[in-house]
Every structure is written in C-alpha cells, then in structure tokens.
A and B are shown apart, each in its own frame.
Chain A
Amino acid sequence: MLELVTTKLEDVANWGRKFSLFSYPFVTACCGMEFMSVAAPKYDIARFGAEFPRFSPRQSDLLMIVGTITEKQGPALKRIYDQMTEPKWVIAFGVCASTGGFYQNYHAMPGADQVIPVDVYIPGCPPRPEQVLDALILLQDRVARKDGHSQLRLKREKIVLQQARAIEDD
C-alpha cells in the first residue's frame, strides 16, 4: 500500500518536473546562436515550461551542452554536472556536443558523454530550433517514464541501500 502511494507521488512529482525544467545553458560555441533563437519569442521554449535559464548549476536540473567541448573544458563540465540538483538531465545540443562533430583532433572531446551521461542528443550543425523543441519533448517523456540517467542511478542507489539495510536487520 505504502509502495503504491510513493510511486503515485513520484509520478506527480515527475509530471511537475517535466513541465518546469530549469536549464543551465553551457554555451561554448556557435550553437549558442540557435539556442538564443529557441529561447527567444519566435520558437519560445517557454511553451514547454523550460524558459528559465539559471546561470547557476545549483538551481537547475537540465544541463544544455551547447557547442564544442574541448578536452580542457572536461573537468569544468564534470564539476558543473556534479553541482546540479538531483534528479538532473542532460541534452547534448548539436553534433559537437554529441560526438565531437567534424573535429577529429587533439583538442576536441568526441562528445560530452565522454565525461557525463547524456539523455538526449540533438544532431545538426547547428540544429534547427524545431529539433531542439522535439528533443525537449523527448526528454519530457523520459522524465515521466523515470528513465533519465540520474533517475535510474538514484533508483539503483536506493535499491542498494535497501539491500544493505535488509542485511543489517537480519
């Protein structure tokens, strides 16, 4: 019975989360132009409840990696991800953030997922704003289905904790 209540509660919470994603734009390169376009009134990401760019990772739960990630930026990116509130989601915006794009050399990281788990990848150089909105909708589904990377990790951690308690109780 208690199980049912908590699951339902979580569903409600996730329903709330999916329409109030607070994004942290990690804008490093030219894709930033397209990000501005998505955020501006014409494409208006606000319609999907993700209109608040928080420029502090501690206040946000959606990391938008917009642009090329260099190897030098890796530690900063990881740190920002670690500072974000749980549960959190990540969108890789553009081919550079997804795979490194056309950079195949000493400085560019072959995709931000080398450092942090990414939930949705948006191809395109840069992607059209419609693609970004599509990705956001995909992410919202994912939030509601509870299978974002951080949600799954939290679930795993909870199970491990329960098992540890059960062993202690025995």
Chain B
Amino acid sequence: MSQKTLDALKAKFGDAITATESQHGDEVAYVRRDKLTEVATWLRDDRAMAFDMPVFVTCIDLLDWRPIKAPGQPSSTRPEWDPTGAGATPRFEVCWQLRSLAHRHRLRLKVAVAESDLKVPSLTPLWQAFGWQERETFDMYGIEFQGHHDLRRIYLYDEFIGHPLRKDYPKEKRQPLVRRSDLLGDH
C-alpha cells in the first residue's frame, strides 16, 4: 500500500526525492530541503494521498554515526550514510511522520540538515498540530523552522544555552537558575 505512495512521490517529483527506504512497514522519503513545502502540500491535498494527520516531528543527530556492522561483513566495507547524495553523512535528519486516516497509510518525510545551516521549512502552516513539536525540536536540537509562527523554546527556559539533545551537549551539564545563597558561598 505505502510503497505506492513512495512510487507516486518519485514519479511526480523525480529528483526532489533523493532516497527512499522501507523498513518494518514504515516508508521513508528523503526530500530535498527546497522542495519540502511543495511535496508536503501535494501529500496533504492530493485525493489519493490525503495525509490528513500529523503524527510527530523530531530530529536525529548523526554525529559520529556509524552503520551497524552486518554479521560476517568486514567493517571496512560499510558504506557512508548518504541519503542526499552530498557525499557525506549529514549532521541532522529532521523527520515528519504523516498518516492518512482516510487511506490508512503512513509516510515519513526526512530532510538532511548540515550543522552549518540549520534552516528547514516549517510544516506548521500545512498541519497546525506540528506547531509545538517543531518548537520542541528547535528547543532540543536548534533546528530553525522557517515559516513557523512562534518559534520559541517550549520546555527549557530562555536562559538555557545550547541544545541538550545534541550528541555534543555534555551529558551532565546543568544550567541552574537558582541556588541557595549559602551554597554559592556569598553569605
């Protein structure tokens, strides 16, 4: 069922879809960043697609990513993960999970993002319910969703520096707002 979705996407958008994969019944399409809004609008509005339910947005940090070694395979033959054909593993993958309640199929859109350029188009104008989750992804990974109406931190406080779910954020680094004055030693 959903393989049809991928095929239709590839037929319609050609090389705007840089890669596709299917795993355990989940279909994933890697979309070029500048084509994302166009692809998503079509997915929402086309009668045969009708993705009417936004499920989640999140981000994957691929810092130091290494493919899992298949049994019996020497590690040197492992390919670089390169869904966009850019020649290197991207630092981040932002993904939007969509579902069609009408047709009962699902699709995940992914956009590869480099650390030096964290901008991606926001899909909140298309599906309102992505609003808070895009804010969360911004909060935790620092992805800038362009076109989001209210891109602020949602869980953390404004004083927080950095983005804690990035793999290079020190695991135990706290950024306290208050401490007892006698602990700070200014008593």
Contacts and interface: CB of A to CB of B under 8 A. Distances in A.
Interface of A: 71-72, 74-75, 78, 104-107, 109-110, 113-117
A159 B60 CA distance: 59
29 contacts: A71-B157, A71-B174, A71-B175, A71-B176, A72-B155, A74-B177, A74-B178, A74-B179, A75-B177, A75-B178, A78-B178, A104-B172, A105-B172, A106-B169, A106-B173, A106-B174, A106-B175, A107-B156, A107-B164, A107-B174, A109-B174, A109-B176, A110-B174, A114-B176, A114-B180, A114-B183, A115-B179, A115-B180, A117-B180
Given A72-B155, A109-B176, A117-B180, 8 more contacts: A71-B176, A72-B156, A104-B171, A106-B169, A106-B171, A107-B156, A110-B174, A115-B178
A113 B180 contact: yes
Question: Which one of B156, B173, B175, B178 has the greatest number of beta carbons of chain A within 10 Å?
Answer: B178
B176 A74 contact: yes
Interface string B142-176: 00000000000001110000001000010111111
A76 to B, nearest CB: 10
Interface of B: 155-157, 164, 169, 171-180, 183
Contacts of B179: 74, 114-115
Contact of A72 (B169, B171, B173, B177): B177
A157 to B, nearest CB: 13
A106 B177 contact: no
